[in-house]
Amino acid sequence: MSFINYSSREINCKIVYYGPGLCGKTTNLQYIYNKTNPEAKGKMISLATETERTLFFDFLPLSLGEIRGFKTRFHLYTVPGQVFYDASRKLILKGVDGVVFCADSQVERIEANIESLDNLRTNLADQGYNLDKIAYVVQYNKRDLPNVSPLPELKKLLNPTNVPEYEAVATTGIGVFDTLKAVAKLVLTELKRGG
Amino acid sequence: MSGNQMVMFEEEQQQIQAACELLQRASNALAVLVIDKNGQEIVRSGQTEHLDITSLSSLFAGNVAATGGIAKLLAEKEFSGQFHEGEKTSVHISLVAQRAILVVLFDQRSSLGLVRLRVRKAAEALTVVFETLVRKMNSGGKSQVFGEITDDDIDNLFND
Ligand SMILES: Nc1nc2c(ncn2[C@@H]2O[C@H](COP(=O)(O)OP(=O)(O)OP(=O)(O)O)[C@@H](O)[C@H]2O)c(=O)[nH]1
Ligand SMILES: [Mg+2]
């Protein structure tokens, strides 16, 4: 849910990174955090287990600059990808303005990706959102690994509606900012259209 | 998308600010925050210079969301408030008008009893303000900025 404050002249939006366990959601945020100027970012908060799996969420506040005198701020969140944290995922999706589905390109994670994407659709619907209507992009992560599925196959299974999609290697940052910019742009365009 | 937006106007912002300052003085608190349910700061008052308000806002919102989720699973409508007692600083958290989170930080110069009492009063005042705000939002007073934004404005944000 975007928050437009006419008093402080700020536009705040929420973007959620979704995807199966270990696909690289937290790594995306860490890369963005490391490469962003100090004045444009706040602290990154990770509520994680002792083994660095996301337990509740990661949070990274970013300022992107001004539009017509309004500061634009994006709050980036990741969900915990492990299947049994579903109750938490539902909570993080509340008030979302844009979603990045981060897929793990490895052949053996195909089913996990499909399951997570179904779960995203269901959990969004529970909150009254439609995946086909909100700002949404797909990222195929871990393209550096040897055992990845070919792109056309991933596309067919994970992006049948042909939303913007990016190949990525979150550990080295390939595709990370392209993905973020694409979703942020869709969010603002959607606000302009619907707001 | 429309019903899914929070808008704040100058007038209501000032009323919320005033209510928080009153609450902070009346309860002898260190600081008072009002946060939108999704974790964005609305106002702060009191000693807040040393606080990371952005981080706190997102964590308070996460906390309230988790507690609300627990209430649902226990078939409770909601838990009316939360209290965390620290060695120096204690925290009282409550939900106002179903959409804002009211946080009071206090120390031994105040007490939970006093805070609870004053929060109840402040919550009544804040509820009125938020109800007005919702009415204003629904009557369409919100498209001022977005009507003017062009695709180029959006593109320019990303050209650096
Ligand atoms: N080779 C390779 N490894 C990656 C890439 N992205 C992330 N990883 C690694 O994958 C592991 C899991 O990454 P995380 O970012 O913690 O995964 P996550 O999606 O946040 O996982 P959950 O929190 O359990 O949902 C880490 O060891 C990362 O270093 C990538 O593009 N290539
Ligand atoms: Mg994670």
CA–CA dist A188, A146 (Å, integer): 37
Q: Which residues pair with A12 in a beta bridge?
A: A3, A73
pLDDT the model gives residue B3: 46
Q: Where are the domains of chain B?
A: 10-158
* Residue-number span of the structural domain to which A50 is assigned: 3-193
Question: Which residues fall inside 5 Å of ion ligand 2, going by CB?
Answer: A 25-26, 54
Tell me the CATH number at A71.
3.40.50.300
Count of domains observed in chain A: 1
Q: Residue B76 above 90 pLDDT? A: no
- Tell me the torsion sign for CA atoms B21, B23, B26, B32: negative
Q: Report pTM.
A: 0.92
For ligand 1, what atom is nearest to the CA of residue A174? Answer: 31
CATH architecture of B10-158: 2-Layer Sandwich (3.30)
Which regions of chain A are under pLDDT 70? 195
pLDDT the model gives residue B139: 81
CB A180 within 8 A of CB A34: no
pLDDT-derived band of residue B141, with 50, 70 and 90 as boundaries? low
pLDDT-derived band of residue B33, with 50, 70 and 90 as boundaries? very high
Interface ipTM? 0.83
pLDDT the model gives residue B14: 96
CA–CA dist B6, B149 (Å, integer): 18
- Name the nearest CA neighbour of A6 among B53, B151, B145: B145
CB A101 within 8 A of CB A18: yes
Cβ-Cβ contacts under 8 Å, B145 against chain A: 4, 6, 11, 67-68, 70
Choose among A42, A68, A72: nearest Cβ to B148.
A68
CA–CA dist B133, B11 (Å, integer): 10
pLDDT the model gives residue A44: 95
Q: What is the pLDDT of residues A26-49, one digit of tens each?
A: 999 999 999 999 999 999 999 999
